[in-house]
């Protein structure tokens, strides 16, 4: 099965019944598959006029209580930024798949990249936090998409599946379970205001039409949901809560794989470059190497970096000119080698081995 | 045993489908591991199309083909772009009516498009003939797996035509059999 189709199957298994989107290479197969499947399940597929409207549509759908999703790539992702902020501020659970391609602008529609890793975290204006996952196999396309819906409902925020063209278009065998775990938002309790947080900093959720009055706004608002945008303390407590509800649990929700904690040269990787790193560390058994494979990039679980007591350098191979490498750099005291690669091709295993050998011989790649 | 198989021809010949069928045969019916990737350009028809499959007994980590050992080449442009640099120990099946050059590696000439037209009346199944020949000549997947994968992949109503093409491919690759 193709990675993009596996994303769609993961969404369907998770009970997604609403898809709004605008086709764009290399993500289009997600929309195609949802368009073929959703009507047969009494779901709704709607092709919108652009990505701004697509994002608006899934926010509206989510407030009716259904699981809603869109899929896009770089240029469309840029258009979605404004409404992503709206989803953050209004605490709307929704899932976005970004099958990344080369940018900036229309760039390389058919080639792989991971150039949107900072945009997903910081692209919309203002202070906020989100959750971003990255698949490195077709199986993970299925599993992480299904998981994204649970995280979106649990934390009431947009959750992103940051795939790339290699994974999106690759075909591999996958195993689809009979059912997947489904965690819906906790309900809004009787007597609680719609934006009053519980102990976990997250308010209960009541969909439109279920009897509660739920004002929804992008303006800074009070716990009733009414705008209150000139009160500094109100803004500070709201926005800090939106950040903290995700950041305070970043270590407990981390999704990762660590291989060889004793390593001196540690790769930090996510998405399709994981495959090259696994080839170098596991198959070729390049001496002294290990890796941290992050399936969840944001929130960034920096404590995992201290799991390598012998590390001499971290190497971050990613399909951009150095994004997550900067995040690694600000948390550690050893050298961080940014092995960014752009143009659309994966790192070959030899390229990564060469970096390790250069480091071992005292050089600086 | 790891095989890296590269298919190339012009857009519309079913180059991508060939790779999908071969990968499906290995992964679903021979119970091995397979990863299929493709050069995914803007050309839908015409132009040089290319698709690759890795087949292995172990899980496939690095998903891109490094040095293909098997080639299926169905156009001159495909040969020039994706076949010319084949290593000398590789095996290449070429559609001998459409590719004028010959590689320096082991070359098996299959007049697939001509035979598809004259024997089956449909040149659209030339890619299935090539697949049949590839499997008969190299054993990269089992013949049963190939048959099952073809049946699972081709449009309804064309099963018999495609199986005939596959068997024709077997016969062209191993004339004495």
A282 touches chain B (CB under 8 A): yes
Give the pLDDT confidence score for residue A141 in this predicted structure: 98
CA–CA dist A160, A169 (Å, integer): 18
Give tens-digit pLDDT for A285-313: 999 999 999 999 999 999 999 999 999 99
| DSSP per-residue codes, B66-114 | SS-SEEEE-SHHHIIIIITT--TT-EEEEETTT--S--SSEEEEE-HHH
Q: How do residues A8-25 score in pLDDT, each as one tens digit? A: 999 999 999 999 999 999
Residue B55, φ and ψ in degrees, nearest 5: -125, 130
Low-confidence ranges of chain A (pLDDT < 70): none
| Domains defined for chain A, CATH in brackets | 3-169 (3.40.50.970), 258-360 (3.40.50.920)
* Nearest CB neighbour to B40, from listed A110, A172, A278: A110
Does residue B176 register a pLDDT over 80?
Answer: no
Chain A neighbors of B20, CB-CB under 8 A: 171
| pLDDT of B40 higher than 90 | no
Residues of A in contact with B11 (CB under 8 A): none
Which pLDDT does position A101 carry in this prediction? 97
Sign of CA dihedral A18, A23, A24, A28: positive
Q: Touching check for B51 and chain A: CB below 8 Å?
A: no
**pLDDT in the model for residue B45:** 59
Q: What pLDDT score does A362 carry?
A: 87
- With 90 as the cut, is the pLDDT of residue B41 above it? no
User: Domain locations in chain B?
Assistant: 3-173
pLDDT for A14: 98
The top-level CATH class assigned to B3-173 is alpha beta
Residue A176's pLDDT is 97
Give the containing element (helix H, strand E) for B56. strand B46-56
pLDDT at position B11: 84
Write the CB contacts of A42 (distance below 8 Å, at least 6 apart in sequence): A17
Residues in chain A closer than 8 A to B61 (CB atoms): 275-276, 278-279, 282-283
Assembly ipTM: 0.92
Antiparallel, parallel or unpaired: β A131-133 and B106-110: unpaired
| pLDDT value of position A13 | 98
Q: What phi and psi, each to the nearest 5 degrees, are found at residue B6?
A: -115, 130
Q: Is B29 on the interface with A (CB under 8 A)?
A: no
Q: Does A272 touch chain B (CB under 8 A)?
A: yes
- Arithmetic mean of pLDDT, B109-128: 96
> Could you tell me how far CA A333 lies from the centroid of its own chain?
27
Interface contact flag, A346 B36, Cβ < 8 Å: no
Q: Using the predicted structure, report yes or no on whether residue B106 has a pLDDT greater than 70.
A: yes
- Please state whether the predicted TM-score (pTM) of the whole model is above 0.90: yes
Quick check: A73 and A105 in contact, CB under 8 A?
Answer: no
Structure confidence at residue B170 (pLDDT): 97
- What integer best gives the mean pLDDT of chain B? 94
């Amino acid at each position: 099965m193709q990675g993009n189709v596996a994303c769609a199957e993961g969404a369907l298994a998770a009970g997604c019944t609403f898809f709004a989107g605008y086709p764009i290479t290399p993500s289009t197969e997600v929309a195609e598959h949802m368009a073929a499947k959703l009507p047969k399940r009494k779901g709704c597929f709607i092709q919108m006029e652009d990505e701004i409207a697509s994002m608006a549509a899934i926010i509206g759908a989510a407030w009716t209580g259904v699981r809603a999703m869109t899929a896009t790539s770089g240029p469309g992702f840029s258009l979605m930024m404004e409404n992503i902020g709206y989803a953050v501020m209004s605490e709307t659970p929704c899932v976005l798949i970004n099958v990344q391609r080369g940018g900036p602008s229309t760039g390389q529609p058919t080639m792989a990249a991971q150039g949107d890793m900072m945009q997903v975290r910081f692209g919309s204006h203002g202070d906020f936090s989100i959750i971003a996952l990255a698949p490195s196999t077709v199986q993970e396309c299925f599993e992480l998409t299904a998981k994204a819906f649970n995280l979106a409902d649990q934390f009431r925020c947009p959750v992103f599946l940051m795939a790339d063209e290699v994974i999106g278009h690759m075909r591999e065998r996958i195993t689809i379970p009979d059912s997947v775990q489904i965690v819906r938002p906790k309900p809004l309790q009787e007597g609680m205001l719609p934006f009053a947080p519980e102990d976990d900093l997250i308010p209960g959720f009541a969909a439109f039409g279920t009897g509660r009055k739920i004002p929804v706004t992008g303006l800074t608002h009070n716990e009733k949901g009414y705008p209150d945008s000139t009160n500094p303390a109100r803004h500070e407590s709201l926005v800090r809560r939106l950040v903290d509800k995700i950041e305070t649990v970043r270590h407990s929700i981390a999704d990762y794989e660590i291989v060889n904690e004793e390593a001196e040269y540690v790769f930090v990787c996510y998405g399709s470059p994981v495959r090259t790193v696994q080839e170098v560390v596991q198959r070729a058994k390049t001496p002294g190497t290990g890796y941290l494979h992050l399936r969840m990039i944001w929130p960034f679980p920096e404590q995992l970096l201290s799991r390598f007591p012998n590390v001499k350098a971290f190497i971050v191979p990613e399909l951009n000119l150095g994004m997550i490498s900067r995040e690694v750099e600000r948390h550690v005291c050893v050298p961080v080698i940014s092995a960014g690669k752009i143009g659309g091709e994966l790192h070959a295993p030899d390229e990564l081995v060469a970096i390790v050998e250069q480091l071992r011989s005292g050089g600086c790649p | 045993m790891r095989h890296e198989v590269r298919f190339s021809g012009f857009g519309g010949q079913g180059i991508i489908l060939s790779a999908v069928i071969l990968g499906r045969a290995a992964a679903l019916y021979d119970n091995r591991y397979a990863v299929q990737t493709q050069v995914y350009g803007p050309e839908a028809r015409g132009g040089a199309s290319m698709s690759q499959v890795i087949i292995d007994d172990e899980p496939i980590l690095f998903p891109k083909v490094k040095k293909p050992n098997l080639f299926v080449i169905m156009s001159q442009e495909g040969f020039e772009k994706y076949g010319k640099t084949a290593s000398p120990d590789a095996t290449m099946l070429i559609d001998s009516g459409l590719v004028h050059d010959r590689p320096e590696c082991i070359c098996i000439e299959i007049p697939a498009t001509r035979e598809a037209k004259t024997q089956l009346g449909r040149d659209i199944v030339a890619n299935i003939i090539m697949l049949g020949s590839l499997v008969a000549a190299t054993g990269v997947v089992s013949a049963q797996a190939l048959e099952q994968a073809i049946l699972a992949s081709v449009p309804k109503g064309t099963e018999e035509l495609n199986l005939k093409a596959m068997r024709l491919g077997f016969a062209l690759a191993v004339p004495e059999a």
